[in-house]
């Protein structure tokens, strides 16, 4: 495949997620980091872009300058990743999509459901691809879980349990940490903190693995540290589109939990369990049988798992390689469009997935405000 030009917005020096994008996008040699507006501070962004090898003319001070600069270039960026704080995603993503530039947007895709619907419509209107970085869905064994569920190994899926509970915002002194502050500030984070930040991943993973979307839910939010207004812990019960019950716990105060993302699927013929901190092993327990460890890269895996696996069995693969699988999906889709061919089936999360999960976060906040009342979790455009 021809190497594509890639742009990055946000992900500046010291950011949490920038390095994983830079590794993931470039590991297969499919993308070259050609342009960037990397930091809220224009000078810092330009300077850091230069250290990453971006040409001075394409080391931009902000995303508007970048859009202006890239718009008419013959070698303009083929894909831009939006890795800025949540409240900026909508404006940036919409502007690049409207220009026909493909976008990989960080989660949550937007702050409101109406904005999410607008992104879906903008992408449809411009023909540009809009993907959302639910990067954990790129893990080989997560794709294998989805394949096992889809081919009926578990039979009817009764229950999916998803949790993303970490302990890294358990200290009230974090109120002064700029990387933590925006996550709990309603002006910057919107209606939800940990549910929008982490619970949304757990929710997407549950949806992705069983191939169902949230229909209705009941939520309990708690703010447990200092004088935080937004929740730092949430428990949500959901009913999914295929009738499966989903239970979700997300937290930022679970001291001792490091990353804390785990998904368990229970069907009538067996159960699966996978955790992000041991991503190369998947536990499979058939009804009446022993628990078996399925190793990434091992024999008899699904084609989707094999395609998402790079190093031989026994060598650890981790999160940047999961992100890389989304980038590979996107490079394949972009190349197919260029060749005028239909894009191959892809499991890369798209704007529709971004919208459905944002709608569920808003529904959870609404339910929590109403003492756990059951509410519709679907975005209006999909009701």
Which one, of 324, 334, 330, lies nearest residue 346 by Cα? Answer: 330
353 binds ligand NAI (CB under 6 A): no
37 binds ligand NAI (CB under 6 A): yes
> Could you give the C-alpha distances from 375 to 163, 239, 243, 363, in angstroms and in order?
21, 10, 16, 6
How far, rounded to the nearest angstrom, does the alpha carbon of residue 73 sit from its chain's CA centroid?
30
23 binds ligand NAI (CB under 6 A): no
**Which residue, 8 or 236, is less far from ligand NAI as judged by CB?**
8
Q: Which stretch binds ligand NAI (CB under 6 A): 8-16, 68-76, 122-130, 345-353?
A: 8-16
**Which residue, 12 or 69, is less far from ligand NAI as judged by CB?**
12
C-alpha to C-alpha distance for 344 and 366, rounded to whole angstroms: 38
Using the Cα atoms of residue 108, residue 198, residue 147 and residue 334 in order, give the sign of their dihedral: positive
**Which residue, 133 or 250, is less far from ligand NAI as judged by CB?**
133
How far, rounded to the nearest angstrom, does the alpha carbon of residue 106 sit from its chain's CA centroid?
6
Number of residues that bind ligand NAI (CB under 6 A): 24
What are the DSSP calls for 172-235, one per residue? GGGGG-HHHHHHH-HHHHTT-SHIIIIIHHHHHHHHHHHT--EEEEEEEEE--STT-SS-SEEE
Give me the least distance between CB of 202 and ligand NAI, in Å please: 12
C-alpha to C-alpha distance for 161 and 166, rounded to whole angstroms: 16
Residues numbered 149-188 forming contacts with ligand NAI, rule: CB under 6 A = 179
DSSP state of 345: P
Give me the least distance between CB of 163 and ligand NAI, in Å please: 15
63 binds ligand NAI (CB under 6 A): yes
Q: Which stretch binds ligand NAI (CB under 6 A): 83-91, 236-244, 274-282, 372-380?
A: 83-91
Among the listed residues 26, 32, 85, 335, the single contact to ligand NAI using CB under 6 A: 85
Question: Which stretches of the chain bind ligand NAI, using CB under 6 A?
Answer: 9-12, 15-17, 37-40, 62-63, 83-86, 88, 106-107, 133, 135, 179, 197
């Amino acid at each position: 495949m021809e190497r594509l030009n890639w742009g990055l917005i946000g992900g500046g020096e010291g950011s949490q997620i920038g390095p994983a994008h830079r590794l993931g996008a470039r590991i297969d040699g499919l993308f070259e980091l050609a342009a960037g507006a990397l930091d809220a501070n224009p000078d810092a962004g330009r300077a850091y872009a230069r250290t990453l090898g971006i040409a001075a003319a394409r080391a931009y001070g902000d995303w508007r300058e970048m859009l202006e600069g890239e718009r008419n270039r013959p070698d303009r960026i083929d894909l831009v990743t939006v890795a800025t704080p949540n409240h900026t995603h909508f404006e940036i993503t919409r502007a690049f999509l409207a220009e026909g530039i493909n976008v990989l947007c960080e989660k949550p895709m937007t702050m409101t459901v109406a904005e999410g619907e607008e992104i879906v419509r903008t992408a449809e209107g411009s023909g540009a691809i809009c993907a959302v970085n639910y990067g954990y869905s790129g893990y080989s064994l997560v794709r294998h879980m989805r394949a096992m569920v889809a081919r009926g190994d578990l039979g009817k899926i009764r229950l999916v349990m998803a949790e993303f509970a970490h302990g890294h915002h358990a200290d009230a002194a974090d109120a002064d940490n700029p990387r933590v502050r925006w996550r709990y500030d309603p002006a910057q984070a919107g209606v939800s903190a940990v549910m929008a930040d982490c619970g949304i991943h757990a929710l997407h993973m549950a949806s992705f693995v069983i191939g169902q979307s949230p229909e209705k839910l009941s939520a309990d939010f708690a703010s447990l540290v200092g004088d935080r207004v937004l929740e730092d812990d949430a428990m949500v019960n959901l009913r999914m589109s295929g009738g499966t019950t989903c239970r979700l716990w997300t937290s930022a105060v679970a001291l001792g939990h490091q990353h804390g993302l785990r998904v368990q699927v229970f069907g009538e013929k067996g159960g699966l369990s996978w955790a992000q901190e041991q991503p190369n092993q998947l536990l499979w327990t058939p009804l009446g049988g022993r628990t078996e460890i399925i190793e990434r890269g091992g024999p008899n895996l699904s084609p989707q798992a094999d395609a998402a696996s790079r190093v031989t069995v026994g060598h650890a693969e981790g999160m940047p390689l999961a992100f890389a699988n989304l980038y590979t999906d996107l490079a394949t889709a972009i190349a197919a469009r260029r060749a005028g061919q239909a894009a191959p089936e892809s499991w890369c999360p798209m704007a529709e997935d971004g919208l459905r999960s944002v709608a569920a976060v808003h529904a959870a906040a609404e339910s929590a405000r109403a003492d756990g009342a059951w509410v519709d979790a679907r975005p209006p455009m999909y009701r």
